[in-house]
């Protein structure tokens, strides 16, 4: 099982810095490429750019907590939580598809009409 992790492409855990405008201030955020990819996916799902997503997350954390300490770690945790939600939603989708199949329905197709 460890080979699944140990054979990860080094590009995925290579760090990269990006400049982001947060609260009208340009700052640099350093994350591993895998986290940048996850943030890009999350941003695309929300119909915004990665930088807009990061600024929005910062604003929300600041509004909720009054500060945004260790924001880079917060972004990593956000990515992990996003992946966990996707995983759970995927399992729920598979379960629903199995239930439809057991009921004689094919997912994505109209219900079978018996004549």
pLDDT digits (tens, 9 = 90+) for 62-103: 999 999 899 999 999 999 999 998 888 877 776 666 666 767
Tokens (6 digits) for 43: 């941003």
Helix (H, G, I), strand (E, B) or coil at 105: coil
User: Residue 37, class by beta-carbon neighbours within 10 Å (0-12 exposed, 13-18 middle, 19+ buried)?
Assistant: middle
Domains of the chain, first to last:
9-102 (1.10.3990.20)
Q: Is the pLDDT of residue 25 over 80?
A: yes
pTM for the model stands at 0.74
For the chain, percent of residues with pLDDT exceeding 70: 80
Mean per-residue pLDDT for 11-27? Answer: 91
């Amino acid at each position: 099982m460890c080979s699944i992790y140990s054979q990860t492409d080094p590009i995925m855990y290579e760090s990269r810095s990006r400049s982001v405008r947060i609260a009208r201030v340009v700052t640099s955020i350093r994350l591993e490429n895998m986290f940048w990819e996850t943030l890009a996916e999350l941003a695309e799902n929300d119909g915004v750019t990665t930088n807009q997503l990061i600024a929005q997350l910062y604003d929300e954390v600041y509004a909720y907590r009054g500060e945004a300490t260790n924001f880079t770690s917060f972004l990593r945790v956000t990515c992990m939580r996003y992946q966990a939600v996707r995983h759970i939603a995927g399992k729920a989708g598979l379960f629903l598809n199995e239930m439809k199949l057991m009921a004689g329905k094919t997912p994505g197709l109209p219900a079978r009409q018996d004549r």
